[in-house]
Structure 1
Amino acid sequence: MRVKKRLRHRKAVQFYSTYFGFREPYKVLVNGTFVHHLLVHQLLPADDTLRELLSASRSTPLFTSKCVYTELRRLGKSHAEDFDAETASYEHDKVVSAVDCILSLVGDKNPEHYFVATQDSDLWEKLREVPGVPVIYGLKNSLFIEQPSVQQRKFAQLDEEKRIHMEKSEFKKLLKVSSEGKATGDGNAPGVTEKSKFKRNRAKGPSSDGETKRNSVRKRKRSGKDSNQAETSS
């Protein structure tokens, strides 16, 4: 069972890495309900627990916001202040609800590539409409990554089709440039210089090689005879 669960989680992480560009170190944006779940079930240290969930080789930084902490204090869950997380930067000046704050951090396309960890079902449903937002949630003492929703898969498919179409259009542009280069008369695309033409040395045939060898042998014999005659005359 653990093996199957781990494989499902790895497939989910791979999906977001392939189609939405998630890279290590993975960033996890947590809200108050998830912090409370971690503390109640002693799933600590949280960064190690989440690193294992994501099968990451590096430490997984956790992020939250001041709005989340403000809401926790108002609910009387002050023990969440002991939770170690970085404060994510946001643009709104006033304190808003934790749900609205997290939605503003994620934006329309989740540019920071956050995994959002929450136990809030309302937030969960809203995040499903945002492309490239994986959701982490807890059940008792276990954590899970929600499998990519239908909306996420449709968006990934459309994005992939756009990318393929773009590659085809770029290829057509290259063909057009090449044809324009041929139209100039030199047979080369613009910016491509003609290759230098070198003269090839013709290979000598077997007969010519044989004649050369015979001539060299005759010269050596003749030179030998000439030297012997010179010694005799002396």
Structure 2
Amino acid sequence: MIKPSDPRFLFLSHNTDLGPPFRILVDTNFINFSIQNKIELVQGMMDCLMAKCIPTITDCVLAELEKLGPKYRLALRIAKDPRFERLHCDHSGSYADDCLVQRVSVHKCYIVATCDRDLRRRIRKVPGVPLMYVVKHRYQIERLPDAGASFH
């Protein structure tokens, strides 16, 4: 039995736009870390959140994977999985991290999946947006600070 104080459920009280099915905005390195840790992406997300999840990827993240070349061919194939929702970007040549931060600042209906420490630090400054990352061969959801808290 999961307790209501479990971090997986605490973020719901801070952001009422979030609810099953969860839309998870995936970053380039999250896919790579999932491959390295042999985690099946969609199933791992559902196991972590215990609910239906829709992995979501932006054009910028796909472009970044394409630029990384043949070494990241498997990551690109996973990103093009039909279970992934594709978000079109209306800007050109943007850095994928900037694109993700801008998108969650405007639409707080996403959980951001990233293993990039710098991006996680930037996302934490956006109140109401939970983070998912890889820890010990499984996904972990980070509890949100109070949505009204000030960030320095």
Q: Shared fold by TM > 0.5?
A: yes
Report how far residue 121 of structure 1 moved. Answer: 0.5
More strand by share: 2
Write the deviation string for residues 74-113 of structure 1: whole angstroms up to 9, x where unpaired.
Answer: 2222221211222123332x021110111121125x43x1
Matched, 1:29 2:25: yes
Aligned with 1:103 (options 101, 104, 110): 101
Write the deviation string for residues 20-41 of structure 1: whole angstroms up to 9, x where unpaired.
Answer: 1121111111000000111222
Report how far residue 154 of structure 1 moved. Answer: 5.2
Between the aligned partners of 1:119 and 1:80, the Cα distance in structure 2 is 14
Write the deviation string for residues 117-160 of structure 1: whole angstroms up to 9, x where unpaired.
Answer: 00111100001110111001102412111122xxx31517xxxx
Between the aligned partners of 1:146 and 1:18, the Cα distance in structure 2 is 14
Aligned partner letter, 1:96: S
Between the aligned partners of 2:142 and 2:74, the Cα distance in structure 1 is 27
Aligned with 1:63 (options 47, 56, 69): 56
Partner of 2:115: 119
Partner of 1:19: 14
Between the aligned partners of 2:124 and 2:24, the Cα distance in structure 1 is 16
**Alignment RMSD:** 2.3
Superposition TM-score, scaled by structure 2 size: 0.82
Aligned partner letter, 1:70: A
Matched, 1:54 2:49: yes
Report how far residue 72 of structure 1 moved. Answer: 1.8
Aligned pairs for 1:35-184 within 5 A: 35-44=31-40, 46-56=41-51, 59-76=52-69, 77-83=72-78, 84=81, 85-92=84-91, 94-108=92-106, 110-111=107-108, 113-148=109-144, 152-153=145-146, 155=148
Structure label with greater radius of gyration: 1
Return 5+ residue gaps in structure 1 as ranges.
157-234
1:13–1:54 CA contact under 8 A, matched in 2 = yes
1:134–1:145 CA contact under 8 A, matched in 2 = yes
Aligned partner letter, 1:102: L
* 4+ runs deviating over 3 angstroms: none
2:10–2:143 CA contact under 8 A, matched in 1 = no
Return 5+ residue gaps in structure 2 as ranges.
none
Matched length: 143
Between the aligned partners of 2:112 and 2:22, the Cα distance in structure 1 is 11
